[in-house]
Structure 1
Amino acid sequence: VIKTGEQNDKNEEWTKLSRKHEIDVNHEKRHISIFGGKLTDCINVGEEVCEAVQQLGISLPEAKRKWYGEPDDVIRDEYLHQAHLMGLDELTPSGACEALSARLWRRYGAQAISLLETIREDPQMADPLIGGTDYVRCELTQAARREMIVTLEDFLRRRSKLALVVHHEELKNSQGLKDACEILFGKDAPERWEEYFGENSFFYEIKMNNKKFPQNQKNNAV
């Protein structure tokens, strides 16, 4: 990003220019604009934005509180202690890539402690949402409480990654996923289901095209 009035040094590598962020503050309109930057620099960008917000006269509650990164070792040790006492890893789904205690901590940090309580109350909450996957049912309740999931595609492709490891037809026939849809979307569940699996969906169109043009016909046409 090049500020207004700056000259571009032709000897400077262009990739450095494209990855440098700049924050512009319009004090008159009380407006902040962020230009450029990269994902790995998000903490620095965020800190600069916080400073700019305070310059505009807006106080930030707990401005110095560390909100990112893994929780303190004390919290992790307490979580692992509770997980050990309840035999959490014995509930790890068959074929899982990692122990259940490791998965929940890696994905949810301190929030994983509340998931332990959910599993204590109902051990079936440690069962896979769909057989053969690592995503367990208590993670769904966590997603429903804390994440703004608005479409089934959002849940399957970005939040849980289930669409990346399970065939489309298997997802469509999964009772666990139908239950998940009810929990996530309530009265809108049928609409969200039809949006993803119905005849007007993107995936249905792909399926129909594959039937019209089998792989061998595609190869012959090339």
Structure 2
Amino acid sequence: MDRTALKARAWLAGIAALCGLWLVHNGAAVRTVAPQPATAEAFAAGPGPRPGTRVAEPLRPSEPVRIRIPRIGVDAPMTGLGLGADGSLEAPPARDRNLAGWFEDGTRPGAEGTAIVAGHVDNDEGPSVFYALGSLKKGARVEIDRGDGRTAVFSVDAVEVYDKDDFPDDRVYDATRHASLRLITCGGGFTRETGYQGNVVAYAHLTEVR
């Protein structure tokens, strides 16, 4: 496991305290929890690009500046996330509901390896940038604009949900030889006392460069 994978797993500690804030704070105003992945969207035979899917050559590293996921209406700026004093990954500012964060000490999206992008499911005002992540389907497009003027286009390979006590670090964070992307937010079971009990992870790989 490389340095990126070892540090990236600390994300869970950084986001856990911010899961489910809107749903907890607003009690009776709750209409529904965030969408959760269907069983059909999980990997059929282990992680990796689906058979027959194009895999584009990785790009040189360049910082991401914006993410778009047309199928779920995401169009958001991106901010770099570092590590806090306790070793956990910093979460994006909760007050900004339309902001995604990327692990800036790891792989840049579009470069060879596994890039980590995370966003809140909600805050104390309502749904946030990755609220609908669990409703993504295989083959959905994820576009990331980069500082070099190129757009890295990814195809979703699977969307899975894990309990926080059974999170598969190696499956999510291990480096790949192609350009991979992991989108992470809160999900799983929900209680009004503690919020979401796990995480939704969307797996994707680079298929096109514009």
State the TM-score bracket (shorter-chain normalisation): under 0.3
Higher helix share: 1
TM superposition score normalised by structure 1: 0.21
TM superposition score normalised by structure 2: 0.22
Larger RCO of the pair (alpha carbons < 8 Å, separation 6+): 2
